Structure 1
Amino acid sequence: MKKIILVIIANFLLCPIIWAQKQIDRSQELRIGQLLPDLPLQPALNYKQDRIDIKSLSDKVVILDFFDTYCTNCIAAMPKLQKLQDEMGAKLQVILVTWQDQKAIEKFFETSSFLKEHHVKLSTIYSANLLRSYFPHKGVPHTAWLYHNKVQAITYSDFVKAENIEALYNNGTIQLPFKSDFNEGLDENSSAFGQEQLVGSVKIFGFKNGVETTGIQIAVDSTTALQKTTFYNMDILGAYTAAWSKIKKPTFLLKEERLLWKVRDQSKYQYPKGSGGKNVWLLKNGVSYERCDRVRRSELQQAGIILNDLNGFFGLKVYWDTKEMPCLVIRKIKEGKNTIKQLESVGGLEGTGVLAFMVDYQGDFPPVVDEVNSKINIRIKDYSNLEKLNEQLIKYGLTLVEERRLIEVLVFEELK
């Protein structure tokens, strides 16, 4: 359970994660501007035939949206794709593409109440190993754009919008940010790190095309012997929290209530939910960072340097403070007949600290404060409301109480 919690914390504080996979063969990879090779008919569901001839669709903008049934972001975007298909008619062909087999995809469409509610019945190519070899990737969603049987874009799903489809259909070409899961932008010629005479440098810039979002990476360059510190395509909030997490290890979830904004425009620093896709927002507001040093510092020391660089560049002061606010406090209750002293030792939440994190993670409660700090193993099945939580906690001699507390908050303050 601890490993799972650490992954969730990393996800929240740092950046989206592309899960490690075996080495991907890129020998057949198609590049932007290349024509499609001869393709066999592809097995399909929800199409007018049980096979799709992709090259026969040359007069349409073809969107190949790679997904799998485990990807919640992929599924959440499907109603939008269906709406575009319905509205744009003969100009567009959206095709979902997955490595999963026919049986799995048939079951997916038959059992998903979400897809049925939104009337999603998009054409889907299954067992698509050949297409995956032409458009290799590590993470989904992954979107390839075709027109006139030519690869026009390989980008993020956020950019699948009517105006972009119309632009490609009318102009025959389009330029969109390049999505690569292989960090092709990190070559020696695209940064200062390959220069042998370099003494040191720091560079803060915006969205870097062709580079996947990364957390803070610190390494020594084998050629120059300089210490390199980098991150790419992060929101400013994410950059600061990633640096602070190396100095002050997080013991709680950094919920919105724990952020105190003393700035004129918060939307520059943090993606406003529901604003048309985070990657579209990052194209304008994302930040990237490259630094090389002759002096090799510890991770903790280098994190402090990053914070100083960011503060100076953005005119910010970002620091931890405390603020009183409504909280849920984990407290002990007196032992009684309902208290179980001998409980399962495995299979639950490993302590009240993990309980606090998991309740915070639900998003429906005020910040949780752990005033017990017990390592007791706790099994919780229902997080629907406070009453249900306390019904489950009573046997552990615990309760969640609504009170006000001084809690830690991260302050973003613009300097005048």
Structure 2
Amino acid sequence: MNDIHRMGMVLPFPNKQTYIFICLFTLIIGGYNAKAQDNKVVDVTTKGIQIGQQVPDITITSIHNYKTNSAKISDFKGKLLIIDFWATWCSPCIAMIPKMDSLQKQFGDKIQFLSVTYQIEKEAMPFLAKLEEQHKRHYNVPVVVADKDLHKQFPHTTLPHYVWVGADGKVKAITESQEVTIANISKMLSGNAEIAKKSDFKIAYDRSKPFLINGNGGDGSNLLYHSVLTKFTEGISPNYSRTSLNNNSQGKIIASNIPLVLIFRMAYGGYDKYYSPSRCILNVSDKNSLSSEKNGMEYMDWLRKGNGYCYELIVPPNLSARMFEIMKNDLSNFFPEYISKAEKRKVKCLVLKRTSNSDKIKSRGGQPSIEFSPFGFDVKNSRLSTIAMRLEVLYMQNSPYPIVDGTNYDSTVDLKIDAKISDLTALNKSLSKYDLKFEVDDYITDVLIIEDKQKSTN
């Protein structure tokens, strides 16, 4: 299971100035916002309507895929109403759409799923239409777009988020997606369900200021340098980021509540490389101390049990260009039990190859541009190596193999691909018109190796 499904979405770095990898689906829309002076951990879900309380009979507007374009909460009385808060960028949310549709058909009039997003119609509905086109299946679950009222009533910080409203109009449960099952729905309908409650913890934290000084790290106005390492800190969303490739600016690296392997990946990636999970070779006796295949709340519990860390490095402008070397030294000092190194090795890769000598990809020039979505990409006057990196960073990060450009094509290209990118067969079919193809093959590429110090010494 990759970083997206365990912790959230990983965003590709847009340029050499700044990249941010956000590792948890985080969303606060009209709900609870922690104030700067409040440094207590708060469960955001406790700020809204609670289990056992009556849901106000609010009017819901902008409903699509329903018999009317508006409805009241009371219109669903007598049914189990399951409100699904989602977004188009949330992979686990999208994975739940077919499941909800099947559950809706199975239970019929006894239940009603209602998918709710803060996103506007022109963002959400074309995405769902494309999803149905890809799946060759229509989904009957009603969709509410541009919502504010339900988000205010049920504040949360992570997606997907589910609120179960009973036939009497009272909240019966607030859960994660894992709890939305046939068994739990059946128990809820029979009136004897005990479903694990979802908690979204939030603490006031300003990433623009130093960490752990004066409640948040102070204002940083006089700080020249610091390096901080802590264990898992409740209330801070998993995150890692870096700023500054400018010798006139302060350099800063943040890694919050993430496993050790991600901190190593960030340190060796530096400003211009990305070490995906498929590029990491863990030659250690206890891999569980570095990474985990757990998901959801189990994954967060694993981080809490000594496997999650917060690291922050701030350096003055004259050291900004060297801050990743400093970070590597910190890791060596903080975790002397490991030896880490980056090198080129011949490993199994997903290699982009040309299938003929006919040049069908050479760019006609113009402004360079790259537009990607889960359903294809449109590339103009750009390098194939850039496409391979974008696929590995985000759209094909499930790949067990590093993704590399093996074409040795030196010119820029124009490509327009219309295919579900995560489906290699479909992707190759679309690439074939350009005489291109991805194949698994041995290839020399960059890898990150982490070994036990004792094993390496021996």
Output the TM-score relative to the length of structure 2: 0.59
- The 10-residue stretch of structure 1 (98-107 or 236-245) with the greater mean CA deviation from structure 2: 98-107
State how far apart, in whole Å, the 2-side matches of 1:227 and 1:364 are. 33
State how far apart, in whole Å, the 1-side matches of 2:317 and 2:152 are. 41
Counterpart of 1:321, as a letter, is: E
Q: For residues 50-78 of structure 1, give each alpha carbon's deviation from its aligned partner in whole angstroms, at most 9, with x where no partner exists.
A: 73426976996x64322245655422112
1:77 equivalent in alignment to 2:93: no
Match of 1:283 in 2: 301
Structure 1 residues 17-416: aligned runs within 5 Å: 25-26=30-31, 31-32=45-46, 34-35=48-49, 38-43=56-61, 51-53=71-73, 63-68=82-87, 71-82=90-101, 94-99=113-118, 100=120, 108=128, 112=132, 117=137, 121-135=140-154, 140-144=159-163, 149=170, 153=174, 157=177, 175-178=197-200, 184=204, 192-194=212-214, 202-206=228-232, 208-209=234-235, 211-216=236-241, 230-246=254-270, 249-250=272-273, 254-266=275-287, 269-272=290-293, 277-278=295-296, 280-285=298-303, 287-291=308-312, 298-311=319-332, 312-313=334-335, 315-326=337-348, 328=351, 338-339=358-359, 343-346=363-366, 348-357=380-389, 363=399, 367-369=403-405, 372=408, 374-379=410-415, 381=417, 384=425, 389=431, 392=434, 404-416=442-454
Is contact 2:21-2:240 (8 Å) kept?
Answer: yes
Is contact 1:351-1:375 (8 Å) kept?
Answer: yes
Q: CA deviation at 1:262?
A: 0.6
Is contact 1:330-1:369 (8 Å) kept?
Answer: yes
State how far apart, in whole Å, the 2-side matches of 1:371 and 1:69 are. 33
State how far apart, in whole Å, the 2-side matches of 1:137 and 1:358 are. 30
Give the 3-state SS of the residue equivalent to 1:411 in structure 2: strand
Give the 3-state SS of the residue equivalent to 1:379 in structure 2: strand
Q: CA deviation at 1:194?
A: 0.7
State how far apart, in whole Å, the 1-side matches of 2:328 and 2:322 are. 10
Give the 3-state SS of the residue equivalent to 1:374 in structure 2: coil
Give the 3-state SS of the residue equivalent to 2:343 in structure 1: strand
State how far apart, in whole Å, the 1-side matches of 2:346 and 2:113 are. 50
In the comparison of the two structures, how many residue pairs are matched? 383
The 1:299–1:270 alpha-carbon spacing in structure 2 relative to 1, beyond 3 Å, is farther
State how far apart, in whole Å, the 2-side matches of 1:41 and 1:364 are. 47
Counterpart of 1:322, as a letter, is: K
Q: CA RMSD in A?
A: 5.8
State how far apart, in whole Å, the 1-side matches of 2:64 and 2:353 are. 51
Match of 2:369 in 1: none
Q: Which runs of 5+ in 2 are unaligned?
A: 1-10, 35-43, 245-249, 367-378, 419-423
State how far apart, in whole Å, the 2-side matches of 1:387 and 1:151 are. 48
Q: For residues 305-329 of structure 1, give each alpha carbon's deviation from its aligned partner in whole angstroms, at most 9, with x where no partner exists.
A: 4444445348333221232235547
The 1:94–1:323 alpha-carbon spacing in structure 2 relative to 1, beyond 3 Å, is same
State how far apart, in whole Å, the 2-side matches of 1:54 and 1:265 are. 54
Is contact 1:63-1:93 (8 Å) kept?
Answer: yes
Q: Which runs of 5+ in 1 are unaligned?
A: 220-225
State how far apart, in whole Å, the 1-side matches of 2:361 and 2:47 are. 67
State how far apart, in whole Å, the 1-side matches of 2:45 and 2:143 are. 23
Give the 3-state SS of the residue equivalent to 1:353 in structure 2: helix
State how far apart, in whole Å, the 2-side matches of 1:293 and 1:106 are. 43
Q: CA deviation at 1:266?
A: 3.9
Counterpart of 2:240, as a letter, is: G
- The 10-residue stretch of structure 1 (40-49 or 374-383) with the greater mean CA deviation from structure 2: 40-49
State how far apart, in whole Å, the 2-side matches of 1:103 and 1:388 are. 25
Give the 3-state SS of the residue equivalent to 1:14 in structure 2: strand
Output the TM-score relative to the length of structure 1: 0.63
Give me the identity figure in percent.
Answer: 16
